[in-house]
């Protein structure tokens, strides 16, 4: 009998097991013996026999206590319905919050975590009327919400991170990242940036995007370039110098780029503004992690293979605004825009104090 009964220790009895209990009990076995054969706790069998046993009349006049597996199953199912509480998503007190999450997700494209913490931070709902983040993702997994897993770009595209060992530079235009001050890695000081380009169609005469990410605040600057060339990059960098004026060298203390040819003249900024420029190792995108993370967000709006020529500056600025006003977990659900402006005010105040 041991060979035909599967051990399901620590799980509730099912209909098949109740049938097995009925057969073994009819053979005159004790609860202890049945428990041994089925690999169950003796109390589990005793409780089941008590639950499923009823007085029946046999031969028209003899009363007999008999274990009936159907009775045990029916009582079990009735008890389960009684003790299993309704999901929060089914309760009226959470309906308004669930509807808010769904509406905000489809209108703002923010993450579930960002939407939850925005509602919490702004006290839009009482805490007891909100569903936790894990439950929200669980409801999405089970198909209880309008939001589906396919709507969560990070979830469906997430891959294990593989860090390649740094390779030796094939070419080097300026200072290697190895010469960058170690304290910059901590992200405690404001004003250190990462720079990259995002391309659309990989054909001639195609526009590209110049993207800069401030390491502490994750503030993003996106500018449209006429092409992925050194002259186009430097033209836009000079536009930024004009735009920020005397504050440029206070805001841009350092810039780290990859070793692409479009950044071959970037190191000349050191002579113009005093901004330090460093070049990452080849095939080491993780050395510009913030840059790469924000590039992925840009790809939500501009898919690979899309021509950037036809994308207006207005749309590009809207993408930039969306990224900078997104509440982010890494920023304790503040926005890059808020952190950047707070740091900028602090730096300006410190500068005024120093010269007074």
What is the DSSP secondary-structure string of 205-221? Answer: T--EEEEEEETTT--EE
| Residues β-bridged to residue 214 | 193
Residues near 45 by beta carbon (within 8 Å), at least 6 away in sequence: 21, 31, 34, 35, 38
Averaged pLDDT for residues 218-247? 94
Longest Cα separation, the chain:
110
What rounded mean pLDDT belongs to the chain? 86
Question: Would you mind telling me the total number of residues written for the chain in this entry?
Answer: 356
Q: Is the pLDDT of residue 142 over 90?
A: no
b/e map of 130-149 (b: 16 or more CB within 10 Å)?
bbeeeebbebbeeeebebee
d(C-alpha 152, C-alpha 248), whole Å? 37
The pLDDT value recorded for residue 96 is: 93
Q: Is the pLDDT of residue 180 over 80?
A: yes
Q: Is the pLDDT of residue 164 over 60?
A: no
d(C-alpha 106, C-alpha 103), whole Å? 6
Higher pLDDT, 154 or 152: 152
- What φ, ψ does residue 254 adopt, rounded to 5°? -150, 155
d(C-alpha 331, C-alpha 253), whole Å? 21
Express each pLDDT in 237-282 by its tens digit: 999 999 999 889 889 999 999 988 999 999 999 999 999 999 998 8
The pLDDT value recorded for residue 57 is: 79
The pLDDT value recorded for residue 231 is: 95
Express each pLDDT in 300-318 by its tens digit: 899 888 899 989 999 999 9
The pLDDT value recorded for residue 240 is: 95
CA dihedral 185, 189, 190, 191 (to 10 degrees): -60
User: Residue 300: is it exposed, middle or buried by C-beta count within 10 angstroms (0-12/13-18/19+)?
Assistant: middle
Q: Could you tell me if residue 187 is left (phi over 0), alpha (psi between -120 and 50 degrees) or otherwise beta? A: left
% of the chain at pLDDT higher than 70:
87
Task: State how far the alpha carbon of 233 is from the alpha carbons of 32, 140, 199, 204, 281, in Å.
Answer: 81, 43, 13, 17, 20
37-46, 88-97, 175-184, 239-248: least confidently modelled range: 88-97
Residues near 31 by beta carbon (within 8 Å), at least 6 away in sequence: 42, 45, 46, 49
For residue 200, give the 3-state DSSP assignment: coil
Predicted confidence band of residue 355 (pLDDT cuts 50, 70, 90): low
The pLDDT value recorded for residue 163 is: 53
Higher pLDDT, 85 or 231: 231
Higher pLDDT, 352 or 346: 346
Express each pLDDT in 74-99 by its tens digit: 888 888 776 555 667 778 888 999 99
Give the number of other CB atoms < 10 A from CB of residue 287.
19
Higher pLDDT, 268 or 153: 268
Terminus-to-terminus CA distance in the chain, angstroms? 92
């Amino acid at each position: 009998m041991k060979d035909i009964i599967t051990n399901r220790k620590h799980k509730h009895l099912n209909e098949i097991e109740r049938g097995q209990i009925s057969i073994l009990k009819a053979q005159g076995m004790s609860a202890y013996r049945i428990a041994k054969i089925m690999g169950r706790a003796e109390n589990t069998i005793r409780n089941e026999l008590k639950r499923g046993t009823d007085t029946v009349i046999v031969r028209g006049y003899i009363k007999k206590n008999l274990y009936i597996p159907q009775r045990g199953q029916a009582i079990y199912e009735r008890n389960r319905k009684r003790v299993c509480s309704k999901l929060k998503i089914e309760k009226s007190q959470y309906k308004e919050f669930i509807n808010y999450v769904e509406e905000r997700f489809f209108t703002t494209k923010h993450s579930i975590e960002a939407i939850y913490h925005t509602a919490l931070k702004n006290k839009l709902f009482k805490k007891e009327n909100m569903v936790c983040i894990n439950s929200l993702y669980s409801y999405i997994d089970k198909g209880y919400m309008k939001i589906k897993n396919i709507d969560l770009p990070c979830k469906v595209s997430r891959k294990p991170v593989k860090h390649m060992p740094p390779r030796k530079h094939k070419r080097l235009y300026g200072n290697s990242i190895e010469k960058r001050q170690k304290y910059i890695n901590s992200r405690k000081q404001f004003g250190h940036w990462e720079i990259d380009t995002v391309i659309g169609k990989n054909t001639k005469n195609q526009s590209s995007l110049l993207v800069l990410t401030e390491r502490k605040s994750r503030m993003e600057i996106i500018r449209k370039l006429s092409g992925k060339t050194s002259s186009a990059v430097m033209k836009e960098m000079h536009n930024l110098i004009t735009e920020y004026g005397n504050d440029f060298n206070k805001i841009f203390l350092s810039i780290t780029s990859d070793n692409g040819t479009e950044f071959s003249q970037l190191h000349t900024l050191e002579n113009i503004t005093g901004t330090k420029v460093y070049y990452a190792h080849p095939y080491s995108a993780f050395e510009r992690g913030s840059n790469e993370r924000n590039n992925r967000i840009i790809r939500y709006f501009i898919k690979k293979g899309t021509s950037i020529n036809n994308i207006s500056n207005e749309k590009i600025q809207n993408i930039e605004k969306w990224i900078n006003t997104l509440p982010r977990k890494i920023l304790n659900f503040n926005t890059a825009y808020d952190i950047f402006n707070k740091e900028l005010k602090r730096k300006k105040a410190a500068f005024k104090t120093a010269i007074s």
